[in-house]
Amino acid sequence: MKIYTAHPGHHIEGLARRDAERPPLGPRDVRVRMRAVTLNYRDLMVVSGNYGLGSDPVVPVSDGAGEVIAVGDDVQRFAVGDRVMGSFFPDWTEGEPDAWKTKAALGGSRPGVLAEEVVLDQDAWVRTPAHLNFAEAAALPCAGVTAWNALFESGPWRPGERVLLLGTGGVSIWALQLAHAGGLETVITSSSDAKLERARALGADHVVNYLSHPEWDRKVLEATRGEGVHRVVEVGGKGTLPRSVTTLRPGGALALVGGFAGFDGAIGPMSLMIGAKRAFGVFVGSRKMLEDLARFVEARALRPVVDTTFDFDDARAAYAHLESGRHFGKVAVAVG
C-alpha cells in the first residue's frame, strides 16, 4: 500500500510517498481503506520540526475518514462496509483528559492517516455522519472536536450569548458553524473582506477585518454594544491574546486553543482578575466528544466547509495551500 512520510525539520519538501507493508490485523483491530484526510495547522508544525517529535520520519496527519474493509475476530463495534473516522487520541475514549489518554496521537506519536490503509483498535473509530462525504467527515476529528470542546464542554450556554472567533481557518469556521447552529451570537475576524462575506453566509452576526482595523478589539466591543463577548475561541496566541482579553465581558472565558500568531504569549494576571474573567486550555478532545459532535452535525445537517480537495499524489500542494493561508475552512486530500 502507499503511505506518506513526513521528515520533521525537512518542511513540505520532506513529504515522501512510499510503498509500505499492510499493517497486521489484531483481534480487536479494524482495517480502514482511507478515502480522505484533512490537514491542520499542526501538520505544518510536524513537517517544520516544531512539534517535539524528534527527527525520525512519521506517517503524518491525524484526521481521516474511510471504509471498513476488515475486522478482527473480537471486534463488536464495526462491520465491513461501515464508514468511519479516526479519533485524534486513540486512547482517550471518554471522561477527563489524563496523561496516559493523551500520550498517543495520530500523525504524531502514533502513525497517522495519510495512507491507503489504517489499522486501529475498534475503540479509536467513530461512524461518520450519514450525510457527509469522506472529505467532510475527515474534517471532524481534530478541528471539529476542538471547536466543539472549546464551545460546549466547559460551562453551560444560554441562547444568544456571544462568542468571538479569530480568522477563517479550520477551527474557527467549525466554531462559527457550531455556534450559529447552537443559537449563539457570533463575531468573526479575518484579513479578507471576501472571506468575511463567506462567513456571513454561514451565519456570522458581526464581522471585523483585522488588517483594516488593527485595533480589532474595539470593533468587537462596538459590535456587541460595548458589552463584549462571553467566550473567545483563542486560536492566535501571542499576537491576539491581549486584544482577545479586552473583548471579554465580565465573567467571560478564553478557550485557549492555538498560537498561529505565536505560542509564547503572556497576559498579566490583572487582565483576568478585573472582571473575574477566566481562561482554560483545550486539547482536541475525546472519542465521546467526536461522537457528540457527529450526532449534532447529523441532527442539524451541518456540512463542514472543505475549501479544496487535492489528489493523493499532490499532498505537498495541499500542505502548501494550507501554509499560504488562502484557504477558508479545511484543506483535504483524497486518498485513492
Ligand X SMILES: NC(=O)c1ccc[n+]([C@@H]2O[C@H](COP(=O)([O-])OP(=O)(O)OC[C@H]3O[C@@H](n4cnc5c(N)ncnc54)[C@H](OP(=O)(O)O)[C@@H]3O)[C@@H](O)[C@H]2O)c1
Binding residues (CB under 6 A) for ligand X: these are 40-42, 142-143, 146, 166-172, 189-192, 195, 210, 235-236, 239-240, 257-261, 282-284, 322, 325
Residue nearest to ligand X (CB): 169
Measured from the CB atom, the residue of 74 and 215 that comes closer to ligand X is 215
Min dist CB 197 to ligand X, Å, is: 11
Measured from the CB atom, the residue of 30 and 293 that comes closer to ligand X is 293
Measured from the CB atom, the residue of 39 and 65 that comes closer to ligand X is 39
Cβ 10 vs Cβ 62: under 8 Å: no
Min dist CB 217 to ligand X, Å, is: 11
C-alpha distances in Å from residue 196, one per residue of 176, 200, 274, 298? 12, 6, 32, 26
Q: To the nearest 10°, report the CA torsion of 123, 128, 133, 137.
A: -70
Q: Which grid cell sits at 35?
A: 478515502
Min dist CB 326 to ligand X, Å, is: 7
Contacts of 92-100 with CB under 8 Å at 24 or more apart are 92/285, 92/286, 92/287, 93/123, 93/286, 93/287, 93/288, 94/286, 94/287, 94/288, 95/286, 95/288, 97/283, 97/286
Measured from the CB atom, the residue of 68 and 297 that comes closer to ligand X is 297
Min dist CB 211 to ligand X, Å, is: 8
Measured from the CB atom, the residue of 157 and 283 that comes closer to ligand X is 283
Min dist CB 302 to ligand X, Å, is: 17
Please state the separation of Cα 217 from the chain's center in Å: 24
